[in-house]
Protein backbone atom coordinates (compact mmCIF):
# COMPACT_ATOMS: atom_id res chain seq x y z
CA UNK A 1 0.00 0.00 0.00
CA UNK A 2 2.90 2.33 0.76
CA UNK A 3 6.28 2.68 -0.90
CA UNK A 4 9.33 4.76 -0.06
CA UNK A 5 11.28 6.51 -2.79
CA UNK A 6 14.82 7.80 -2.31
CA UNK A 7 15.73 11.06 -4.05
CA UNK A 8 19.46 11.88 -4.09
CA UNK A 9 19.92 15.65 -3.81
CA UNK A 10 22.76 18.17 -3.44
CA UNK A 11 26.16 16.48 -3.17
CA UNK A 12 25.36 13.58 -0.87
CA UNK A 13 21.98 14.27 0.78
CA UNK A 14 18.85 12.17 0.59
CA UNK A 15 15.24 13.22 0.59
CA UNK A 16 12.53 10.57 0.91
CA UNK A 17 8.98 10.29 -0.30
CA UNK A 18 6.43 7.97 1.30
CA UNK A 19 3.70 7.31 -1.22
CA UNK A 20 0.27 5.83 -0.64
CA UNK A 21 0.03 3.80 -3.86
CA UNK A 22 -3.79 3.95 -4.03
CA UNK A 23 -4.45 7.61 -3.23
CA UNK A 24 -1.08 8.96 -4.46
CA UNK A 25 -0.91 11.01 -1.26
CA UNK A 26 2.68 11.64 -0.27
CA UNK A 27 4.85 12.60 2.67
CA UNK A 28 8.33 14.07 2.23
CA UNK A 29 11.12 13.67 4.74
CA UNK A 30 13.48 16.70 4.50
CA UNK A 31 13.75 19.09 1.57
CA UNK A 32 17.44 19.78 0.91
CA UNK A 33 16.68 21.10 -2.59
CA UNK A 34 13.48 22.29 -4.25
CA UNK A 35 13.75 21.38 -7.91
CA UNK A 36 14.42 17.63 -8.08
CA UNK A 37 11.89 17.00 -5.34
CA UNK A 38 9.19 19.14 -6.89
CA UNK A 39 9.83 17.56 -10.28
CA UNK A 40 9.39 14.10 -8.79
CA UNK A 41 6.09 15.12 -7.15
CA UNK A 42 4.84 16.70 -10.37
CA UNK A 43 5.98 13.96 -12.76
CA UNK A 44 4.35 11.29 -10.63
CA UNK A 45 1.18 13.32 -10.04
CA UNK A 46 1.44 13.00 -6.27
CA UNK A 47 -0.60 14.93 -3.71
CA UNK A 48 2.04 16.15 -1.33
CA UNK A 49 0.34 16.38 2.06
CA UNK A 50 3.08 16.59 4.65
CA UNK A 51 6.69 17.72 4.90
CA UNK A 52 8.48 16.28 7.95
CA UNK A 53 11.75 17.88 9.01
CA UNK A 54 14.42 15.94 10.91
CA UNK A 55 16.45 19.01 11.99
CA UNK A 56 17.25 22.62 11.24
CA UNK A 57 20.45 22.38 9.13
CA UNK A 58 20.09 24.20 5.84
CA UNK A 59 20.98 21.13 3.78
CA UNK A 60 17.77 19.53 5.06
CA UNK A 61 15.31 22.45 4.87
CA UNK A 62 16.36 24.93 2.23
CA UNK A 63 13.79 23.78 -0.35
CA UNK A 64 10.85 23.86 2.05
CA UNK A 65 9.43 27.34 1.33
CA UNK A 66 9.39 26.85 -2.44
CA UNK A 67 7.85 23.41 -2.11
CA UNK A 68 5.12 24.72 0.21
CA UNK A 69 4.39 27.57 -2.21
CA UNK A 70 3.90 25.09 -5.07
CA UNK A 71 2.07 22.30 -3.26
CA UNK A 72 0.43 23.71 -0.12
CA UNK A 73 1.87 20.82 1.90
CA UNK A 74 1.84 21.15 5.69
CA UNK A 75 5.20 21.44 7.44
CA UNK A 76 5.82 19.38 10.58
CA UNK A 77 8.85 19.83 12.79
CA UNK A 78 10.04 19.77 16.37
CA UNK A 79 8.27 22.27 18.63
CA UNK A 80 11.46 22.93 20.60
CA UNK A 81 13.33 23.92 17.42
CA UNK A 82 10.60 25.97 15.74
CA UNK A 83 12.68 29.16 15.76
CA UNK A 84 15.34 27.54 13.58
CA UNK A 85 12.98 25.68 11.26
CA UNK A 86 10.84 27.02 8.40
CA UNK A 87 7.37 28.12 9.48
CA UNK A 88 5.66 25.09 10.99
CA UNK A 89 2.01 24.23 10.43
CA UNK A 90 2.23 21.62 13.15
CA UNK A 91 4.62 21.34 16.08
CA UNK A 92 5.70 17.78 16.83
CA UNK A 93 6.67 16.60 20.29
CA UNK A 94 9.46 14.07 20.70
CA UNK A 95 8.21 10.82 22.19
CA UNK A 96 4.66 11.30 20.86
CA UNK A 97 2.67 9.21 18.40
CA UNK A 98 0.66 10.71 15.56
CA UNK A 99 -1.69 9.52 12.84
CA UNK A 100 -1.04 10.88 9.36
CA UNK A 101 -4.29 9.83 7.70
CA UNK A 102 -3.93 6.20 8.67
CA UNK A 103 -0.16 6.05 8.72
CA UNK A 104 1.11 5.87 12.28
CA UNK A 105 4.14 7.96 13.15
CA UNK A 106 6.28 7.62 16.27
CA UNK A 107 8.46 10.68 16.78
CA UNK A 108 11.75 9.66 18.39
CA UNK A 109 13.85 12.18 20.30
CA UNK A 110 17.21 12.12 18.52
CA UNK A 111 19.30 14.87 20.11
CA UNK A 112 23.04 14.60 19.60
CA UNK A 113 23.89 15.87 16.11
CA UNK A 114 21.82 18.92 17.06
CA UNK A 115 19.48 19.56 19.97
CA UNK A 116 16.07 19.19 18.40
CA UNK A 117 16.84 16.38 15.95
CA UNK A 118 13.98 13.96 15.40
CA UNK A 119 13.77 10.49 13.91
CA UNK A 120 10.51 9.40 12.32
CA UNK A 121 9.44 5.79 12.83
CA UNK A 122 6.57 4.34 10.83
CA UNK A 123 5.75 0.94 12.36
CA UNK A 124 3.31 -0.15 9.62
CA UNK A 125 6.07 0.05 7.00
CA UNK A 126 8.96 -1.07 9.27
CA UNK A 127 10.79 2.11 8.48
CA UNK A 128 12.69 4.78 10.39
CA UNK A 129 14.09 8.02 9.00
CA UNK A 130 17.06 9.01 11.14
CA UNK A 131 18.21 12.28 9.52
CA UNK A 132 21.79 12.97 10.64
CA UNK A 133 21.59 10.94 13.86
CA UNK A 134 22.46 7.55 12.41
CA UNK A 135 23.95 6.74 9.01
CA UNK A 136 24.63 3.45 7.29
CA UNK A 137 27.76 2.26 9.16
CA UNK A 138 28.20 5.58 10.96
CA UNK A 139 26.55 8.40 12.86
CA UNK A 140 26.32 12.16 12.59
CA UNK A 141 28.83 14.63 13.95
CA UNK A 142 28.08 15.93 17.42
CA UNK A 143 27.46 19.63 16.90
CA UNK A 144 25.20 20.51 19.82
CA UNK A 145 24.60 17.50 22.01
CA UNK A 146 26.70 15.69 24.55
CA UNK A 147 28.06 12.15 24.29
CA UNK A 148 25.49 11.05 26.88
CA UNK A 149 22.56 12.53 24.99
CA UNK A 150 23.79 11.21 21.61
CA UNK A 151 24.30 7.71 23.03
CA UNK A 152 20.82 7.76 24.56
CA UNK A 153 19.28 8.70 21.20
CA UNK A 154 21.07 5.81 19.49
CA UNK A 155 19.78 3.38 22.13
CA UNK A 156 16.22 4.37 21.18
CA UNK A 157 16.87 3.41 17.55
CA UNK A 158 18.54 0.20 18.69
CA UNK A 159 15.35 -0.82 20.51
CA UNK A 160 13.23 -0.79 17.33
CA UNK A 161 12.39 -4.16 15.75
CA UNK A 162 15.55 -5.66 14.24
CA UNK A 163 14.08 -5.78 10.73
CA UNK A 164 13.48 -2.03 10.67
CA UNK A 165 14.72 -0.30 7.52
CA UNK A 166 16.91 2.73 8.22
CA UNK A 167 16.82 5.67 5.85
CA UNK A 168 19.42 8.27 6.82
CA UNK A 169 20.12 11.79 5.64
CA UNK A 170 23.40 11.35 3.76
CA UNK A 171 25.43 8.94 1.64
CA UNK A 172 28.61 8.74 3.73
CA UNK A 173 28.92 4.96 3.70
CA UNK A 174 32.28 4.70 1.91
CA UNK A 175 34.05 6.88 4.49
CA UNK A 176 32.06 5.26 7.30
CA UNK A 177 33.25 1.79 6.30
CA UNK A 178 36.86 2.99 6.05
CA UNK A 179 36.66 4.19 9.64
CA UNK A 180 34.60 1.27 11.00
CA UNK A 181 37.16 -1.22 9.69
CA UNK A 182 39.77 0.34 11.96
CA UNK A 183 37.76 -0.26 15.15
CA UNK A 184 35.41 -3.25 14.65
CA UNK A 185 35.14 -6.45 12.60
CA UNK A 186 32.59 -5.89 9.88
CA UNK A 187 30.85 -9.08 8.73
CA UNK A 188 31.97 -9.99 5.23
CA UNK A 189 28.45 -10.39 3.78
CA UNK A 190 27.58 -6.87 4.89
CA UNK A 191 30.84 -5.48 3.53
CA UNK A 192 30.45 -7.14 0.13
CA UNK A 193 26.89 -5.91 -0.25
CA UNK A 194 27.71 -2.32 0.69
CA UNK A 195 30.86 -2.17 -1.42
CA UNK A 196 28.98 -3.50 -4.46
CA UNK A 197 26.40 -0.75 -4.07
CA UNK A 198 29.08 1.90 -3.64
CA UNK A 199 30.93 0.72 -6.76
CA UNK A 200 27.73 0.78 -8.79
CA UNK A 201 26.68 4.17 -7.42
CA UNK A 202 23.55 2.72 -5.85
CA UNK A 203 22.35 4.35 -2.61
CA UNK A 204 23.31 2.28 0.45
CA UNK A 205 19.98 3.21 2.04
CA UNK A 206 17.95 1.69 3.43
CA UNK A 207 20.11 -0.39 5.70
CA UNK A 208 18.70 -2.99 8.03
CA UNK A 209 18.83 -2.36 11.76
CA UNK A 210 20.06 -5.87 12.54
CA UNK A 211 23.12 -5.34 10.30
CA UNK A 212 23.79 -1.94 11.81
CA UNK A 213 23.63 -3.33 15.35
CA UNK A 214 26.19 -5.95 14.33
CA UNK A 215 28.55 -3.80 12.27
CA UNK A 216 28.14 -0.09 12.98
CA UNK A 217 30.67 0.90 15.71
CA UNK A 218 28.35 3.58 17.08
CA UNK A 219 25.62 0.99 17.69
CA UNK A 220 28.07 -1.68 18.81
CA UNK A 221 29.29 0.71 21.55
CA UNK A 222 27.85 -0.55 24.82
CA UNK A 223 28.66 2.46 27.01
CA UNK A 224 28.76 6.23 26.64
CA UNK A 225 32.56 6.09 27.02
CA UNK A 226 32.92 3.57 24.22
CA UNK A 227 30.66 5.67 22.01
CA UNK A 228 32.63 8.83 22.86
CA UNK A 229 35.92 7.09 22.01
CA UNK A 230 34.64 6.08 18.56
CA UNK A 231 33.10 9.50 17.92
CA UNK A 232 36.37 11.30 18.80
CA UNK A 233 38.43 8.91 16.67
CA UNK A 234 36.06 9.44 13.74
CA UNK A 235 36.25 13.25 14.11
CA UNK A 236 40.02 13.03 13.51
CA UNK A 237 39.89 10.25 10.93
ZN1 LIG B 1 22.74 18.04 9.93
d(CA 235, ligand 1 centre) in Å: 15
Rounded-to-10 torsion of CA 80, 25, 64, 60? 70
d(CA 180, ligand 1 centre) in Å: 21
What phi-psi label fits residue 127: left (phi over 0), alpha (psi between -120 and 50 degrees) or beta?
beta
Residues listed for the chain: 237
The whole domain housing 190 covers 2-94+101-235
Tally the domains of the chain: 1
d(CA 123, ligand 1 centre) in Å: 24
| pLDDT, tens digit (0-9, with 9 covering 90-100), for 68-125 | 999 999 999 999 999 999 999 999 999 999 999 999 999 999 999 999 999 999 999 9
Mean pLDDT for 41-50 is 98
d(CA 119, ligand 1 centre) in Å: 12
Q: Is the pLDDT of residue 145 over 90?
A: no
| Strand, coil or helix: 165 | strand
Mean pLDDT for 140-162 is 97
CB-CB contact of 118 with 109 (8 Å): yes
| pLDDT, tens digit (0-9, with 9 covering 90-100), for 202-225 | 999 999 999 999 999 999 999 999
12: CATH: 3.60.15.10
Q: Quote the pLDDT of residue 188.
A: 92
Distance separating alpha carbons of residues 134 and 81, to the nearest angstrom? 19
| pLDDT, tens digit (0-9, with 9 covering 90-100), for 153-190 | 999 999 999 999 999 999 999 999 999 999 999 999 99
Amino acid sequence: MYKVITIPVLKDNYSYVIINKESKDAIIIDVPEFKPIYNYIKDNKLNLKYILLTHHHSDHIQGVDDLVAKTGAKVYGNKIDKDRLPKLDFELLAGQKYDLEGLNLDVIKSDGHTIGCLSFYFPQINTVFTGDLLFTMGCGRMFEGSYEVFFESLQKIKKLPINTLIYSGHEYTKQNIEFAETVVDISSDCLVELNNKIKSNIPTVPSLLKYEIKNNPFLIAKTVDEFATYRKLKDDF
